[in-house]
Chain A
Amino acid sequence: METTRLIIVAVGGQGNLLASKVLGEAALLAGVPVRMSEIHGMAQRGGVVESAMVFGDAESSIISDGEADILLGFEPAETLRAIKRCNKNTQVITNTAPVPPFTVAAGLGTYPDVEEIKQLIQAKTAGLVAIDAMSLAREAGSPMSVNIVLLGALVQTGALGFNRDVVEEAIRRRVKPAFLDVNLKAFDLGFKAAASA
């Protein structure tokens, strides 16, 4: 079985741990072995949260620099920061809605131009799907569903090899019933947005 290595980067609170659990559940449903690793603790206090998921035969649960097959970024500057995890064959999917770090407000840095971020990633990798996941999440009914919008976009690219039925079933298993409709709508909006991106 082919090995597919996926890195998810997000800002604490954007729900990347739930996103990776949904993909893990989808892997179980699809009969694909998966290992995943995440970071907790001090790093979570407003910092960057990263999950690594390895699908297929490889046994390691972390991913070295240059070895991600897919990079899924929940925040554009964080997607660019994680670009060293990519090689020229990496498929990148990113949210384009910035969550500027506090250091920008404090005058300690300048937030890069989102168009420039997109161009840089596009030029360096095999492909970029960039969508405004925050607007779509709001359209779905909750800004908290950014993570599921992005899963929709990820699945649409086909990079992971899972079909949407499997991932939607995984969402049903992992998301609380009260939020299910919003999240299924979010998934659909992300999927469609990636198709026309």
Chain B
Amino acid sequence: MHKLLQDLPGEKIMLLGNEAIARGAVEAGVAFATTYPGTPSSEISLNLFQMSQESDLYFEYSTNEKVALEVAAAAANSGLRTFCMMKHVGVNVAADPLMTLAYVGVTAGMVILSADDPAMFSSQNEQDNRYYAKFGNLPMMEPSSVAEAKDMIKDAFELSESLKQPVLLRTTTRINHSNAFVTFGEIKPRNTRGRFEKDPHRCVTVPAVSRGLHVKVLEKMKNAARLSDASSYNFVQGAGPLGVITNGVSLYYAADAVKDLGLTDRAKILRLGFSNPLPRKMIADFLAECEKVLVVEEGEPFMEEAVKAIAQEQGITIPIKGKSDELFSRLFEYDPAMVREKMAAFFNVPYTPKTSVDTSDVPEIPMRPPNLCSGCSHRATFYEVKQAAKDMDVICPNDIGCYTLGFLPPLSTGDFVICMGSSVSSSCGFSKATDQKVVSFIGDSTFFHSGITGLVNAVFNNHNFTLVILENDITAMTGHQPHPGVDMDRFGLSGYGRVNIEKLVRAVGVEHVSIIKPFKVQKSIDIIKEALAFKGVSVIISQEPCALYAKSLKLKKIRPFVVSDKCVDHRDCITTIACPSFYLDKDNRVAIDANTCVGCAVCAQICPENAIRPLKQ
């Protein structure tokens, strides 16, 4: 049985934040869950996917976040408790249904989780999605710890049901990817079959209906404001004239700082966990009993600006500070020492930071950047495109996935990346705005997510570029989730369809479609050259399973390669493809790590001396 399905109330177990959230959803009786995977949210859905295979919970990997939210919206309007989770930038994709779903509401509890990524450990920006709650009139809750996240999602479902409104649960990476001990609660029985009751004056958002719905959503938010003021997720801890207002993980940095600075008798902390609408009365009462207030929140000054507005309304003129050049930044993550230092400065208490060791005499340590894996098919494809286009002035829009790493030297095939799907649409623009040749790259999962519309646009507007679809049979970057082109038999699952990328591309109207097997180097280069010579939209589908995925499924017999004594040490292998299986041995000669080489043989085909050979076994 899946560890998160165990009906063992009171059991204490160490869980990753994302596992705790998945367990909380199960305890809440969630019946329907949808997602598009994205770090730092991915393990929530992975656990729900696994649990759905041994229970009556419905779970799906949808093609993108907009689709996931719309699928979920229907379930939540058919009486099923529904959970839809995504990374922060995924909410941008889902923003269209999100804004109007808030008007329509739900008939059963619905929680939408946004996993924000301050400091951008695995993201292209660090947008603060608390503004979506305000923008879209959605009640919002924010946990401070792993254990609280599990309990909070249950209350988020209750809140959603009482307001008939979707609730945004906003986490940050330090919640999603922290481990802590969590105590299992009881699992509420799931109601897995619903019925949609027609209600066109709520569910069909023509202007005449929506005018009424906008009035209603504002009324719902008034009710939500009352609930926020009474919520136990908004609380004061400690006592004294110095005030701290905080949220999320910053609560603990602030609490530790109060203790470390000896302010336990002088400072109190207001933690806001039900943070949209904010508990205005509670904040006003808190301000009235403070001499000065420090707002500690990662990201944008979401609470700070609201707190200052409340102070103005109340005629309270105490100093309230948060983001400024001297205090907190809008950038990146906070940490305990930073919060301690800023708090000491603002409250005028002495503080000597612990000093790090002197690093001035530490030699430069070679960088260890993330890299495409040994035997990654993307490396081969990038190399071949570079070879085929070596005499051309080429722009290479790239996309979001492992293959974004292709921008690093020596492959250097990534010139423009902004969001999922942008490789295709930006190619349309580059091909019209410049005389440069455009060759773009997109993964198979990302193509389904948001590449197809760009390709339809390219065909219709008769653009001129080559799109390389990197078909590796899986969503690799986020941990091997399925996508619509995947053979679900490999997951041991039946009853799924499968969308064939080649047929799809041809059906869209692309006239020049070719397939390459990237581990056949020269043949691939020849085919790519033909595609590049075509005037109009050409698509190359590069087919080879993700090396890690293939390894885990034991799809191929791995036969590592070795460098023979024919090597004359010109190092083309290292300098052109940079596979991490290469290393320099004690004589400073190129060697291949047989433990990591998967035997793709790309280097062997590149070596002009034919010095790289399969290991004799």
Contacts and interface: CB of A to CB of B under 8 A. Distances in A.
Interface of A: 11, 20-21, 24-25, 28, 34-48, 58-67, 77-78, 80-81, 83-88, 90, 100-112, 116, 120, 124-125, 143
Contacts of B584: 100, 104-105
Given A61-B174, A67-B337, A28 B12 contact: yes
B354 A87 contact: yes
Interface residues of B, number: 61
28 contacts: A28-B14, A39-B173, A40-B42, A41-B121, A45-B370, A45-B372, A45-B405, A46-B373, A58-B256, A58-B336, A59-B256, A60-B256, A60-B336, A61-B174, A61-B249, A62-B174, A62-B335, A62-B336, A63-B335, A64-B335, A77-B365, A83-B357, A84-B357, A100-B583, A103-B366, A107-B574, A109-B366, A125-B357
Contacts of B426: none
A53 to B, nearest CB: 9
A86 B357 contact: yes
Contacts of A11: 368
Chain A contact residues: over half helix, strand or loop, or mixed? mixed
B354 A67 contact: yes
B178 A38 contact: yes
Given A61-B252, A101-B366, A105-B574, A38 B371 contact: no
A170 to B, nearest CB: 10
Contact of B178 (A37, A100, A125): A37
B411 to A, nearest CB: 12
B357 A103 contact: no
B40 interface: yes
A44 B252 CA distance: 27
A42 B583 contact: no
B462 interface: no
B336 A64 contact: yes
B355 interface: yes
A53 B372 CA distance: 29
A74 B249 CA distance: 28
B99 interface: no
A77 B564 CA distance: 30
A38 B251 CA distance: 19
Q: Which of A44, A106, A112 has the most CB of B within 10 A?
A: A106
A106 B575 contact: yes
A46 B371 contact: yes
B471 to A, nearest CB: 19
User: In the complex, which of the residues A62, A107, A112 has the most CB atoms of chain B within 10 Å of its own CB atom?
Assistant: A62
B180 to A, nearest CB: 6
Nearest to B353: A66
Nearest to B339: A60
Contacts of A108: 366-367
Nearest to B253: A60
Contact of A43 (B121, B364, B373): B121
Interface string B326-356: 0000000101111000000000000001111
A30 to B, nearest CB: 12
Contacts of B559: none
A102 B582 contact: yes
A149 B419 CA distance: 43
B196 to A, nearest CB: 38
Given A36-B179, A43-B370, A61-B249, A83 B335 contact: no
Contact of A124 (B333, B357, B595): B357
B252 A59 contact: yes
Contacts of A58: 256, 336
Interface string B360-387: 0111111111111100000000000000
Nearest to B87: A41
B354 A66 contact: yes
B611 interface: no
Contacts of B369: 46-47, 103
B361 A120 contact: yes
A166 B576 CA distance: 50
Given A24-B14, A40-B177, A43-B122, A106 B358 contact: no
B598 interface: no
B368 A48 contact: yes
B460 interface: no
Interface string B6-17: 000000101000
Which residue of B368, B369, B371, B595 has the most chain A CB atoms within 10 A of its CB atom?
B368
B152 to A, nearest CB: 17
A106 B177 contact: no
B255 interface: yes
Contacts of B173: 39
A126 to B, nearest CB: 10
Nearest to A112: B363
Contact of B40 (A40, A59, A61, A67): A40
A60 B249 CA distance: 8
Interface in B568-609: 574-575, 578, 580, 582-584, 590, 595
Given A46-B371, A100-B366, A84 B356 contact: yes
Contacts of B478: 41
Contacts of A77: 365-366
Contacts of A66: 337, 353-357
Contacts of A80: 362, 365
Nearest to B359: A84
A83 B14 contact: no
Given A24-B181, A35-B145, A40-B122, 12 more contacts: A21-B179, A35-B178, A40-B177, A42-B477, A46-B368, A47-B368, A67-B337, A86-B356, A87-B354, A90-B357, A106-B578, A120-B362
Nearest to B374: A46
B550 interface: no
Contacts of B359: 83-84
Nearest to A11: B368
Interface in B177-232: 177-181
Nearest to A51: B179
A143 B594 CA distance: 14
B39 interface: yes
A61 B143 CA distance: 14
Contact of A42 (B362, B370, B590): B370
B410 interface: yes
B510 to A, nearest CB: 31
A102 B373 contact: no
A100 B368 CA distance: 9
Please indicate which of the listed interface residues B173, B333, B595 has the most CB atoms of chain A within 10 Å of its own CB.
Answer: B173
Interface in B289-336: 333, 335-336
Contacts of B282: none
Report, nearest first, the 7 A-B pairs whose CB atoms are least far apart.
Answer: A109-B366, A41-B122, A64-B337, A66-B356, A41-B39, A59-B252, A45-B370
